[in-house]
Amino acid sequence: MTKPMTIAEKILAAHAGLDYVEPGQLVQVNVDIALGNDITAPIAIKIFRQTGIQKVFDAQRIALVSDHFVPNKDIKSAEQAKMLRDFAREHGIVHHYDGGESGVEHALLPEKGIVLPGDVVIGADSHTCTYGALGAFATGVGSTDLAATMITGKTWFKVPESIKFIYNGRLRPWVTGKDLILYTIGKIGVDGALYQAMEFCGPVIDGLPMADRFTMANMAIEAGGKVGLFNPDEKTIEYAKARAKRPFTVYKSDENASYAQVMEFNAEDIEPQVAFPHLPENTRPISQVGDVPLDQVVIGSCTNGRIEDLAVAAQILKGRRVAKGLRLIILPATPTIYAQAMELGYLKTFLEAGAVIGPPTCGPCLGGHMGILAKGERALATTNRNFVGRMGHPESEVYLASPAVAAASAVLGKIAGPDSL
């Protein structure tokens, strides 16, 4: 009888060909999907070429997505996207997304069924942990590690300890997965789960739609987490089965698995949250935000650019106008989401409200383009980071919140919840 294991331990054991692993153990694992984008893949491609290796380990298990500086904003970014294009053509990379097929990588890969439950996924992007929502061990790595995996199909990990986060009670109005994760990071801090697997459980989690789970897993890295994991349930399996082109295995934590820590929260204590500059841990409930006027609001990104996020924004913006002097930028995360938003009339609602609708791109989230802040400007965004200079000038400010708070704030010209309307 093997010892009880967490979902993180089970996935790593299976991919290392072992019956059992424990925290602290170093394991070499087979990788299901290796991902790079237009910032990180060029470095990996250069390293790959330097080795003289002629072939990638598997042309179907590498994903290259141009999403950070696209449509290209300058010569350098155009050359980086071209490197991906050339490499993909040369090696017959099946999952290469560019131009009108491209979207924000961490929304695009689940949508296309490229990442699945039980997978080990590495990505040269810190928010690769998003796929933990599907019950996959997914984490960010450096470009050198990506190059090594593109050659060998393997990588190594130190098996992380796990922290179990249990959410009880019922969600208050307008409270979403974004608020739960901001609240959690506010409680434990940006290094509160350093190199640990954050496992999200409890009745509130069971009730969350997939979109909210992706949001929570996405921000595990903002607490220092190695991965953010959800034990797959019927919702997960239904989501994956509708998109999967290959078989997948579901792993779940054993009841008596051992955890470094167990933390319990009561959802009834959690209001919509806002993270103040310059860290995601600097959170306050909406009732304690005070008067914070805004210059810009951004709704989109790998954290909150899904159709469910746009639906909430459209519900709040319908029949209302964006405050004078404020710029509202809305970026649907993938072409499919863009098309759905068009069919459902959300884009018309956004345009009538005075919003700018951009293409599927990471754009302003990383201070890339399409919404850079000037000195002294203040933005509220549904993105995942608000570090100094993250969205532009080092003397600008970024606040983080959910699409509901973002939409209401865009109408009122200052940070506010939907109840203020």
For the residues 259-287, what does the mean pLDDT come to?
95
pLDDT for the residue 409: 98
Whole-number Å distance between alpha carbons of 418 and 421: 6
pLDDT digits (tens, 9 = 90+) for 96-147: 999 999 999 999 999 999 999 999 999 999 999 999 999 999 999 999 999 9
For the residues 205-215, what does the mean pLDDT come to?
97
pLDDT for the residue 387: 81
Share of the chain above pLDDT 70, in %: 100
Alpha helix ranges (H) inside 115-221: 143-152, 177-188, 203-207, 210-218
Q: Is the pLDDT of residue 288 over 70?
A: yes
pLDDT digits (tens, 9 = 90+) for 369-391: 899 999 999 999 999 998 888 98
Whole-number Å distance between alpha carbons of 331 and 310: 9
Alpha helix ranges (H) inside 126-173: 143-152
Whole-number Å distance between alpha carbons of 266 and 297: 30
- What the block records as the tokens of 219 is 């921000």
Q: Is the pLDDT of residue 3 over 70?
A: yes
Structural domains in the chain? 7-264 (3.30.499.10), 274-415 (3.30.499.10)
Share of the chain above pLDDT 90, in %: 93
User: Which one has a higher pLDDT value, 1 or 145?
Assistant: 145
Strand intervals (E) in 212-326: 227-230, 261-266, 273-275, 283-285, 296-299
Find out whether the peptide bond into 280 is cis, omega within 30 degrees of 0.
Answer: no
Residue 331 burial (10 A CB sphere; 0-12, 13-18, 19+) = buried
Average pLDDT, the chain: 96
Q: Is the pLDDT of residue 33 over 90?
A: yes
Task: Using DSSP bridges, classify how beta strands 227-230 and 161-168 pair: parallel, antiparallel or unpaired.
Answer: unpaired
- What is the radius of gyration, based on Cα positions, of the chain? 21
pLDDT digits (tens, 9 = 90+) for 167-207: 999 999 999 999 999 999 999 998 989 999 999 999 999 99
Note the Cα 56 to chain centre separation in Å. Answer: 27
